[in-house]
Amino acid sequence: MKTKTKTGVILPVHSSLAVPATERSRKKSTINDIARLAGVSKKTVSRVINDSPFVKEETRIKIKEIIRENGFAPDPQARGLAFRRSFLIGMIYNNPTPQYVINNMQGILDALRGSPFELVIRPCNRDAQNFLHDMRAFIERQKLSGVVLLPSASEDERLIGMLREIECPYTRIAAVGLDAPEKMVVTHDSAGAADAARHLAGLGHKVIAHISGPKTFRSAFERRKGFTEGLAGCGLKLLSPYDREAAYTFESGQAAAEALLSLSPRPTAIFAGNDEMAAGVYVAARNLRLEIPKDLSVVGFDDSPIASRMWPLLTSVRLPIHEMGRMAAEKLLRRWKEKTPPADDKTEVIPALIIRNSTAAPNNV
C-alpha cells in the first residue's frame, strides 16, 4: 500500500516518513531523506537550506515543501560546515606588470556583474617562506567560493595541491595547458612569439636580440621557446650574448637593452617579452641617440595600452587579457550553477601580432 504527499511524491506506507508526525518524530528526517524524496542531490538541498541563488525556483519550492511536511530541521553546526563558502571570488597574482593585473581584474568583474559574487584581490610572493600558509589562511579567512589564478601563481603546483586539499574551486590562466580543460584558460604564448620572430626575419634582420621575463614564469619560457623556434624556421639563431633575462619591468628592460646595445655587432632588432620591458628598450635606445625603427626595431608582447601610447607606436603581440579574466571567472560561475562542464571544455586564446611603427627593415638591407 502507498500514500501520496502534497507534492505528489509516492511513499511506501512502511516508510518512517509516511507515518504520523508523532511517530515520525521518534526518528528525525535527515538531509539524505529530503534529497531522496525530492529526487535531487544532497548538495542541492543544502543550497536551498542556505538560500543559495543557484537553484531553480520550481526545485526550491518543491524541496521546501518536503522539508516542511517532514519536519526536517538542519543541524546548525552541520549547516555551517556544509555552507562554508562566502559569495567571494579571489584573484591571486604575483605578476609585476600592473596593467596586466588590472586588465584581468576588469574582465573578472565583468563576469561577476549581475551575480551575487564579489571580487577580492590578493598579491602573493611565491618565494616567501610562508607562501602556502599565507594563501591558505587568506582563502579560509575569507571563505572564498573560488579563485582565479594569474601567471605565475597559476603555474605553482604547490598552490594547486593546497587548493585541492581544502576543496577550493579554481581556474588557472597560463601559457600552456597545465590542468583539466575545465580549469584552464590557455594563452598559447609561444605561437605569438614565433609570429614576432618571423616578422623581424621577414624584414631582413639577422642580428636579433631577445629580452625574456624571469625564468620562474612559464610565460617567459614559452615566449622565448616560440621566438627561437620562429627564428629557426627562418634559418636564424638566437645567439647567447643576445639572449637576456629580465624581470617583466620597465627598469629591467632598460638595463637589459643597454647591455645588448653595447654589443658588437649591435642588434638591429629586439623582441621584448612584454610591453613594459619594450618601453625600457625605447629609453635605452634614445639615450644612445638611436632612432626607432630606423636604427633599431622593437617588438613587445601583450599589446597593453602603453603600446599605442608610445612613439613610434609599438608593434606587439596581442593577448586579449581582459577577455582572459572574464573567461576564467565564467568557468567558476558555471560550476556554482551546477552545470557540470564537459571533459573537453577548452578555453583557449590565440595571440595576434599587431604591426605598428616600431619595426622596419634594417639600415644595412
Q: Which of 173, 184, 193 is nearest to 104 (CA)?
A: 173
- d(CA 88, CA 25) in angstroms, rounded, equals 38
C-alpha dist (Å) from residue 125 to 95, 117, 212? 10, 26, 20
Element (H, E) at 109: helix 98-112
- d(CA 208, CA 210) in angstroms, rounded, equals 7
Neighbours of 20 (CB within 10 A): 7
Name the packing angle between helices 31-38 and 42-49 (round to 10°): 110
Neighbours of 118 (CB within 10 A): 12
Q: Which amino acid makes up residue 296?
A: L
Per-residue pLDDT of the chain (365 residues; tens, 9 = 90+): 444 444 444 343 333 334 444 444 445 778 888 888 889 888 888 778 766 666 788 888 888 888 888 878 765 544 444 445 678 999 999 988 888 999 999 999 999 998 889 999 999 999 898 999 999 999 988 899 999 999 999 999 999 999 999 889 999 999 999 988 889 999 999 999 999 999 999 999 999 999 999 998 999 999 999 999 999 999 999 999 999 999 999 999 999 999 999 999 999 999 999 999 999 999 999 999 999 999 999 999 999 999 999 999 999 999 999 999 999 999 988 877 755 656 667 889 999 999 999 999 998 65
Neighbours of 33 (CB within 10 A): 18
Give the torsion through C-alpha atoms of 269, 274, 280, 284, to 10 deg: -10
Q: What is the pTM of this model?
A: 0.74
What domains, with CATH codes, occur in the chain? 2-80 (1.10.260.40), 88-187+321-349 (3.40.50.2300), 189-318 (3.40.50.2300)
- d(CA 59, CA 57) in angstroms, rounded, equals 5
Q: How many helices (H) and strands (E) does the chain have?
A: 13, 13
| Exposure string for 135-163, b = 16+ CB within 10 A, e = fewer | bbebbeebebbbbbbbbbbbbbeebbebb
Q: Which amino acid makes up residue 249?
A: T
Name the packing angle between helices 131-142 and 157-165 (round to 10°): 40
CA atoms in the 13 A half-sphere facing the CB of 97 = 31
